[in-house]
Amino acid sequence: MEWRLIKDSYHNGFINMAIDEAIMIAHREGLVPPTIRFYQWSPPAVSLGYFQDLKKEINIKVCQDLGIDMVRRPTGGKAVLHDQELTYSFIIKENDPLVNDSILETYKKISGGIIRGLSYLGIKAELVPLRGKLENHLLGRSDKARIHHLDFKSICFSVPSQYEVQVEGKKMVGSAQVRKGGVVLQHGSLLIKLEKDKLFSVFNFPSVQIIEKLKSKFKATSLEEILKKKIDFSELSNILPHGFEEEFGVRLVESKLTESEEKISKVLLENKYSTYEWNYLRKNNQLNFQR
Q: One digit per residue, pLDDT tens: the chain, 291 residues?
A: 999 999 998 999 999 999 999 999 999 999 999 999 999 999 999 999 999 999 999 999 999 999 999 999 999 988 999 999 999 999 999 999 998 778 888 999 999 999 999 999 999 999 887 554 333 333 333 444 443 444 445 555 544 456 789 999 899 998 999 999 999 999 999 999 999 899 999 999 887 887 788 887 788 999 999 999 999 999 999 999 999 999 999 999 999 999 999 999 999 999 999 999 999 998 875 555 543
Domain of 253 in residue numbering reads as 2-281
H-helix or E-strand spanning residue 259: helix 259-268
Report the predicted TM-score, pTM, of the whole model to 2 decimal places: 0.88
Amino acid identity at 121: L
Contacts of 202 (CB under 8 A, 6+ apart): 46, 58, 59, 62, 63, 66, 68, 81
Note whether residue 185 is domain-resident. Answer: yes
Note whether residue 287 is domain-resident. Answer: no
Please list the residues that pair with 4 across neighbouring strands.
35, 253
Domains in the chain: how many in total?
Answer: 1
The residue among 136, 211, 125, 213 whose CA lies nearest residue 171 is 125
> For residues 99 and 107, is the Cβ–Cβ distance under 8 A?
no
Backbone phi, psi, residue 89, to 5°? -125, 145
The residue among 45, 44, 77 whose CA lies nearest residue 158 is 77
Q: What one-character DSSP code corresponds to residue 162?
A: T
Note whether residue 43 is domain-resident. Answer: yes
SS (H, E, C) 90-140: EEEECCCCCCCCCHHHHHHHHHHHHHHHHHCCCCCCEECCCCCCCHHHHCC
Note whether residue 291 is domain-resident. Answer: no
Q: What one-character DSSP code corresponds to residue 13?
A: H
Note whether residue 241 is domain-resident. Answer: yes
Please list the residues that pair with 69 across neighbouring strands.
45
The residue among 256, 219, 231, 1 whose CA lies nearest residue 117 is 231
> For residues 251 and 231, is the Cβ–Cβ distance under 8 A?
no
Task: Just list the catalytic residues.
Answer: 156
- Give residue 285's pLDDT: 58
Amino acid identity at 66: L
Amino acid identity at 247: E
Please list the residues that pair with 176 across neighbouring strands.
187
- Give residue 210's pLDDT: 79
Note whether residue 286 is domain-resident. Answer: no
Cis-peptide into 43, omega within 30 deg: yes
Beta 183-191 vs 170-180: how paired, if at all? antiparallel
Note whether residue 288 is domain-resident. Answer: no
- Give residue 289's pLDDT: 52
Distance between CA atoms of 12 and 22, rounded to whole angstroms?
A: 16
Note whether residue 289 is domain-resident. Answer: no
Distance between CA atoms of 116 and 114, rounded to whole angstroms?
A: 5
Q: What is the CATH number of the domain that holds 67?
A: 3.30.930.10
